[in-house]
Amino acid sequence: MPNLEEMMAVGQTCSEYTPILRGPQASQPDPEDISCENCAHWQGEDEMCELDIYLEQLLNLDQT
């Protein structure tokens, strides 16, 4: 499983980030709280991106 800092960096720059909204009064998370951990696409037994774009997004961070 990726580390928390990487998941935050990827989540904050990912074009496919979709927050998991809970409850009737749920709102968009604060920018500093955005992470793959609270993305609707972060699932499965291996806890990875179901869109299979995590590694690509992570590698793109190093190029900016």
Q: What is the mean pLDDT of residues 29-39?
A: 86
Q: In three state form, how does the secondary structure of the chain look?
A: CCCHHHHHHHHHHCCCCCECCCCCCCCCCCHHHCCHHHECCEECCCCEECCCCHHHHHHHHCCC
Report d(CA 7, CA 16) in Å as an integer.
13
Is the pTM of the predicted complex or chain greater than 0.85?
Answer: no
At 40-49, the pLDDT tens digits run: 999 877 789 9
Rounded Cα gap, residues 29 and 6, in angstroms: 18
Binned at pLDDT 50, 70 and 90, residue 31 comes out as confident
